[in-house]
Structure 1
Amino acid sequence: MSKKPRSKPEVPMSGRIWKVPVWLAVAAVFGFVVVSLVSYNGADAPGHVTWPQNDTPANWGGPVGAATAYTLLRLLGWAVLIPIVFAAAALVQTGWKRRLDHPLLRFFGVVLVSAGIAGLFAVLRPQGGLLPGLPGGTLGLLIAETLMIPRFGSVGSVLWLGLVGLIGMVVAADRLMFALPRLIWRGLVPAAATTRTVAAAATEATREGSRGVFARFIARLKRRRTKVEEVRLNDIDDPIEVAVTPRSKRRVTVVPVPRRIEAEPLDEMEDDDDEAVAQNDDDAEDDDLPGAPQVFDREKLKEKIAALNVRFSGSEKSSATDEDLEDIQNAIELEGYRFPGLDLLEEPEEGFNDTLESLVREQAESLESALQQYRINGEVVDIESGPVITLFHVRLAPGTKVAQLNTISSDLARSLRAVNIRIVSNIEGRDTVGIEVPNPNKEKVRLKELMSNRDLFASMKLPMFLGKDAAGDPLITDLTKMPHMLIAGTTGSGKSVCMNTIIMSFLYTKKPNELKLVLVDPKMVEMSQFRDIPHLMCPVVTEMHKAAAILEWACQKMDERYELLAEAGCRDITAYNNLEWEELKERFNPRSEQEEAKIPRKLPYMVFIIDELADLMMTNKEVESSIIRIAQKARAVGIHLILATQRPQANVVTGLIKSNMPCRITFKVASNLDSRVVLDQRGGELLLGQGDMLYLSPQSHKVMRAQGTLVDDLEIRRVVKFMKSIAAPSFERQLVQLRSAAEGSDEDRILQSQNNSSASLAAAQEDPMFDRAVEIVLETKRGSVSLLQRRLAIGYTRASRLIDLMGIAGIIGDHKGSVAREVMITPEEWVEIKRMAGELAAVQGGQLFPTQDSAEHPDGGDEHPESGDIDDEDDDFARTSRQDSASDEG
């Protein structure tokens, strides 16, 4: 028969219930027909061969059996044996739970064979048969006397009827017919079998397929006497153990015997275990490999699991001391400043691992039993128990695919009585597969415990004590190595606690002159408790339009720092801060004490922590360009971003933002789509919440599961209260003025922007195209960035900056998505504004809005006809402005 597919479709329960009774009924009918034919008696009615007829039928099937046998013999004669044989073969095949493929085609083949054989009997022996004159039955007589002999004669009829019978045999049993020539050839030419190698014989056996229904039946009987099987119930804790024979003993060895024609398992439809019959003897070594199928014994399994080494997180817990933080806290001296004491933090938990060992060993037994139940050959070889999950290292048998574990992950979770499990397909440095199972109780990871690992963070510039990984090892990273971070997670997943942990890490390791913070908290409750720490550059920002202006300011500060580093001949902020004061003066070469005072001795790190990135992106679409610029360039100058969102969608975490945020943390998210946006893989939706996270490091590019550090509100209040008593925050003047400009009323927005927003006015004076840009906007009545790009032939950043300056000055309205900003004044009002600005500038001794001449000569209009070198004077002006800003940082 033709080859069947290896995969067997799952039969519904109702189909399995009805299949056995139907098969039994058909088998009973078949047996009755065979018994009736075997016990046929010509004297039984309705037969006409002998007279008188028997009063009581001698047939073993009674009157019905006698009538059945007479009818079949009268119809087919001796050819009745053909359908009987094929029916028996079909019953045997379906009885072994093998699907009968193409049943209608097989039935048609049996009809052809029966007709051909019946016709041959009628032609060759016209007077034979149990019924005189009907050796082939009425069917054979009709075919021979009516169709064949009058047209083809006796010899021609034999040839044509033999061809019909042969075609019918091929249709009904193609494999048997194709295998017969090979069997005959092997019997006639024994040398072909003796010279064949073992590997060639195995390959040939796999290729030739089945030798027929009866060959498969005999081979299966032989195999089932010694086959290793393990029958289990749904409860994996109480398996039914059956006598087992090792796999190597099931192997049929190909022996070079001249007449080796016994039936062997050559059916290509067999399972993977049956395919191993055709492999060479070298495969017998697989039984000794790690992870190979083993005999399941409950007691032996318990003994094996009990011998495994279970590694627990924090087996020897310790609390940090002042000496642990001594090296990193004394980097730069600051007179009168003291760090908060470690006694303000909570002590780590004790006794967490006391009851966990027995539980994880039971889970290991259940896991290995479940793998055997679902026919996956693997064994647990190592156990690592972390604060929230336990990682079981499973070594799979050779040839077993990890995809099989992913398919039954939900079933394994149910067997282990877990909410869900996570499959780690590849563990670096090991040949095992990881299965992460949640612990019934979670360990609280405390900040004080992580600070005791002095060797891990002593050399870090901006250490962050994020938590513990799945194995219980401390997860401490340096933000300067990231250099930016993206945090995603739903409400209650631990995202806000993670940001609080990062801030607390900075407060315990960095002084205010080493680190400056900007906190953006639109919820007004998450980070507002840090409003009194001395590290802040401005009050906690709660309005998103102010956050957009701050990011624009950060871009300007980044450019200024790059100019400073270029003049100092340094590649990054670390090289600049390592320079001594004398060397700094030598490189800058100040010409006066005033210029020397403007040289910053040290450049502090700047960290912008922004919560609710989605709200920021919706408020101001142009903020994406600021984020991308900072993410791409700000690492060398010590400016870092930490962005957080609870909606990690593709329109929020865009491709450019994600590509420039190599360090990403995902807490529990709503769906696997959100997880793919952040991590480029699923898994975030399977987390447990409450600090359970996936951490992607830019150094390893491997996702690591961890438990975040818990810093509660009580600890934060203690630390902030202490720091408030030590020092007050010193805000950045430009950032405060940006806030006041944004908060101005409609009535006096122009005058306040001129008098109070020095940062925006300085930017307007530096750009000679500001006046022309305003004229274009008033002429077209559209405040559009792309319009200025086309009309002035400038880049996006400069055009966006001009538009923002016009918005601060009240010339155009607020940002409204993709629509151009509304023009708020007329050209006549703009002329009046410039006139008033000129009068105010005359009083203050400067210019607020430059004219064309002043734009060409920013030093007050002095011309230099001798050299005509405007670029040198522009550089002097930029250097002076940069040094003013740098002195603010110092």
Structure 2
Amino acid sequence: MFKRLPGDQAPNLVSTTPDTAVVFRPAVVRTPALVTLIIYACRFVVALVRTVWRHPVACCVPAALGAVWALYGWQLTVSVAGFVVLALLAWAYGAPDSFARLVGWRLLAWWRLMSVYRRHWHAVMEVSGLARRISGRVYMPRLVKVQCDGWADRLTVRMLDGQAVKDWTDRTDNLAQGFGAVSCRVALVKGGRLVLTFPRSDPLAAPIPALAIPNEPSVGPVEIGKQEDGRPLKLKVHGTHVLIAGATGAGKGSFLWDTIRGLLPAMRAGLAEVWALDPKLMELSFGRELFQGRYASDPADCADLLDEAVTVMQKRAARFAGLQRSHVPTIEDPFVLVLVDEVAFLTAYQPDKHLRQRISAALATLATQGRSVGVGVMAALQDPRKEVMNIRNLFPDKIALRLDESEQVDMVLGDGARDRGALADHISPVPELGAGVAYMRLETSPEPVRVRAAYVSDDDIREMVALFTERGEAA
């Protein structure tokens, strides 16, 4: 039934059953043992040099101790090691900040690299689909380095040739789960390199009490809370416009009152004025004495107040024309901040069409022309849809508190913000955990930053009113 195969092909025959194809064993090239040993030796040398280059301290310390042991014996080695440990402990106790910066975080980064990221790197890359298998060869993104600080691990990664940032932002959930983190954020450093941020703790979990009122009058960036990395959160209000979006109870009032609190010394000195539009009659009315008559709650009064702000802006522009290009606050020309709470009620839900058009036109005029003459707008709303707030792109700085839907994140912060880690729809609805927590995207930086505003209580607002009233009585 079968023909005899000529030559030496018969031993290579694996199957000759009638219902299957003939399969031959692949050719095997036998490598001499000496060549194999040379290859492994070269790989070992390369890995050793790379390890010493990347981790000089971790390699030099055991090498130095080994040299002391070989030359002077174990007694001196133990003495030197004990002295070094005591010196490090004294340093950590006496100057914890410098110790953490120069030693502590580096040791933690090395430990996290070896115990977490290097250990699981290949498996996570394979399962998440970020590694590529071509012609039987696996191409793996390279983990360049790991850096640690008080709240997160930052991994610098070299992407594969041909990969895009979106390939990584689409797999942030896979990366976070694979490395045991609660979330992952992706940021492009330069061509071909990414920084993956894996938080280890949440510095913003606890509410922040109201910050102290500044001593010096200033309209510069006002401190209103804390960033996720522990640094103070300073919000620029002079020379820009700010849009705040968040669901009910998300903490929009914290950003409004923290801004007023930071500007209070300048308001007392006559260098700043806050004009308040409060159609909800609940948030800003509690401290209406601070606004010196520039307060409106009725939609018609809100439209009149906005028209007055436009008039002030246009008069300043006419006086500044040809003389100056930026505004410097003075008593004659103070910085004017127009606060609008629940702006959607005025621009979208207002039944009077004429008032709605007046208000929308005035806000658009202020947002396009007010920055250079010292008239800023800070608007807060719940629904960020375009049909509700069609001028949201005129606000350079945007803040997204807790939102109801994932699509709303990109509506507020811009396209791709959620893919880069701005998970505003995942902020906890529990007031103690999520009130005042937000993602902020500034004009000067496209990357969203997680922040939390301090909580200004009713007693804090009464204190502010009393302090401002004292200024009025003294005058």
TM-score of the superposition, structure 2-length normalised? 0.65
CA distance in 2, matches of 1:249, 1:214: 30
Q: Which residue of 2 aligns with 1:649?
A: 385
Pairwise CA RMSD of aligned residues? 4.8
Q: Is the 8 A contact 2:339 2:378 kept in 1?
A: yes
Larger Cα Rg: Structure 1 or Structure 2? 1
Deviations, residues 263-290 of structure 1 (Å, cap 9, x unaligned) = xxxxxxxxxxxxxxxxxxxxx6997289
Match of residue 515 from structure 1? 272
Q: 1:559 matched to which residue of 2?
A: 314
For 1:103-502, what aligned pairs fall within 5 Å after superposition?
A: 107=21, 214-215=26-27, 248=43, 288=50, 365-375=115-125, 377-378=142-143, 381-385=146-150, 390-396=151-157, 399=160, 405-406=168-169, 408-415=171-178, 417-426=180-189, 433-437=195-199, 439-440=201-202, 442-446=205-209, 448=211, 460-481=218-239, 483-502=240-259
Q: Would you say the 8 A contact 1:694–1:704 is kept in 2?
A: yes
Take 2:268 and 2:49, find their aligned partners in 1: how far apart are those partners?
63
For 1:523 and 1:570, locate their aligned partners in 2 and report how far apart those are by CA, in whole Å.
41
SS at match of 1:677: helix
In the alignment, which residue of structure 1 is the partner of 2:305? 550
Deviation at 1:621, TM superposition (A): 4.4
Q: CA deviation at 1:613?
A: 2.6
Cα 1:449–1:504 change in 2 (3 A) is: closer
| Overall identity of the aligned pairs, in % | 16
In 2, Cα distance between equivalents of 1:450 and 1:89: 87
- Per the alignment, residue 617 of structure 1 pairs with 347
**In 1: Cα distance, 2:285 partner to 2:157 partner:** 51
**Structure 2 letter corresponding to 1:76:** F
Separation in 2, partners of 1:494, 1:705: 17
Note if 1:662 corresponds to 2:396.
yes
Q: Which residue of 1 aligns with 2:409?
A: 675
CA distance in 2 between partners of 1:575 and 1:408 (Å): 47
Equivalent residue for 2:294, pick from 538, 556, 559: 538
Structure 1's 624 and 705: CA in aligned 2 closer, same or farther, altered over 3 A? Answer: same
| Cα 1:528–1:357 shift into 2, 3 Å | farther
Aligned to 1:214, the other structure's residue is in SS state: coil
Structure 1: which 5+ runs fail to align?
1-74, 92-103, 111-171, 174-212, 229-244, 251-283, 293-299, 301-306, 317-355, 453-457, 578-600, 730-890
Q: Contact (CA 8 Å) 2:221, 2:236: kept in 1 or not?
A: yes
Q: In structure 1, what residue type is equivalent to 2:143?
A: G
The residue that corresponds to 2:334 in the other structure is: 604
Equivalents in 2 of 1:291, 1:399: separation in Å? 23
Once the two structures are TM-superposed, the CA of residue 696 in structure 1 deviates from its matched residue by 2.4
What letter is aligned with 2:199? V
CA distance in 1, matches of 2:289, 2:269: 12
Q: What displacement does 1:488 show?
A: 1.9
Q: Structure 1 pair 672/374, CA: closer, same or farther in 2 (3 Å)?
A: same
Summarize deviations over 1:220-255 as a string: whole Å, max 9, x none: 999xx99x9xxxxxxxxxxxxxxxx688379xxxxx
Residue 517 of structure 1 and its aligned partner are, at CA, apart by 1.5
The alpha-carbon deviation at position 635 of structure 1 amounts to 2.1
Residue 633 of structure 1: CA displacement? 1.2
Q: 1:529 to 1:728 in 2, by over 3 A?
A: farther
Task: Classify 1:494/1:85 alpha carbon distance in 2 versus 1 (closer, same or farther; 3 Å).
Answer: farther
Which one of 433, 442, 464 corresponds to residue 697 of structure 1? Answer: 442
Q: 1:469 to 1:84 in 2, by over 3 A?
A: farther
1:545 deviation in Å?
4.5
Change (3 A) 1:445 1:489: same
Residues 544 and 439 of structure 1, relative CA distance in 2, 3 Å threshold: farther
Quick one: distance in 1 between partners of 2:276 and 2:111?
47
1:471-511, CA deviations, whole angstroms, 9 ceiling, x for partnerless residues? 32223243223x11112223343322111211111114432
CA distance in 2, matches of 1:435, 1:399: 19
Does the C-alpha gap of structure 1 residues 470 and 449 become closer, same or farther in structure 2, counting only changes over 3 Å? farther
Question: What code does the residue aligned with 2:184 have?
Answer: I
Q: CA deviation at 1:435?
A: 0.8
How far off is 1:383 after superposition?
1.3
Contiguous gaps of at least 5 residues in structure 2:
55-61, 63-87, 98-104, 126-140, 351-355, 428-433
Stretch moving more, 364-373 or 78-87: 78-87
Classify the secondary structure of the residue corresponding to 1:425: strand
3-state SS, counterpart of residue 479 of structure 1: coil
Aligned pairs, number: 390
Partner Cα separation in structure 1 for residue 13 and residue 413 of structure 2: 60
Cα pair 1:517 1:537 within 8 Å, conserved: no
Counterparts in 2 of 1:576 and 1:433: CA distance versus 1, 3 Å: closer
Q: 1:444 to 1:426 in 2, by over 3 A?
A: farther
1:644-685, Cα deviation, whole Å (9 max, x unpaired) = 22222232343x541x32122222333443222222222233
What do residues 490-547 of structure 1 show as CA deviations (whole Å, max 9, x unaligned)?
Answer: 33433221112111111144326322222223333222221222x33333x3344442
Q: As a proportion of its length, which structure holds more helix?
A: 1
Match of 1:505 among 262, 278, 282: 262
Equivalent pair of 2:213/2:264 in contact (CA under 8 Å): no
2:219 partner amino acid: K
Query: 1:642 Cα deviation (Å)?
Result: 0.5
Aligned equivalents of 1:650, 1:286: Cα separation in 2: 58
- Structure 1 runs (4+) greater than 6 angstroms displaced: 80-87, 219-222, 284-287, 289-292, 356-364
Counterpart of 1:336 in structure 2 is none
For the Cα contact (< 8 Å) 1:611–1:644, is it kept in 2? yes
Q: Distance in 2 between matches of 1:543 and 1:360?
A: 57
**In structure 2, C-alpha distance between the alignment counterparts of 1:392 and 1:473, rounded to whole Å:** 17
2:305 is aligned with 1:571 = no
Given the superposition, is the C-alpha separation of residues 406 and 219 from structure 1 closer, same or farther in structure 2, using an over 3 Å criterion?
Answer: farther
Deviation sequence 1:591-636 (CA, Å, 0-9, x none): xxxxxxxxxx712221111122322221224533222211111123
Q: 2:3 aligns to what? A: 77
Structure 2: how far apart are the matches of 1:433 and 1:220?
A: 42
Q: Could you tell me whether the CA contact under 8 Å between 2:159 and 2:194 is conserved in 1?
A: no
What SS is found at the alignment partner of 1:551? helix
2:14 is aligned to 88
Task: Report the Cα offset of residue 367 of structure 1.
Answer: 4.5
User: How far apart, in 2, do the equivalents of 1:574 and 1:527 lie?
Assistant: 27
Q: Which amino acid aligns with 1:471?
A: D
The 1:76/1:645 distance shift into structure 2, 3 A limit, reads: same
With structure 1 as the length reference, what TM-score do the two structures score? 0.37
Opposite residue 316 of structure 2, the aligned amino acid is R
Greater relative CO (CA pairs within 8 A, separation 6+): 2
Counterpart Cα distance in 2 of 1:617 and 1:624: 6
Return the alpha-carbon distance in structure 2 between the equivalents of residues 221 and 690 of structure 1: 69
Equivalent residues of 1:368, 1:379 under 8 A apart: no
Name the aligned partner's letter for residue 501 of structure 1. D
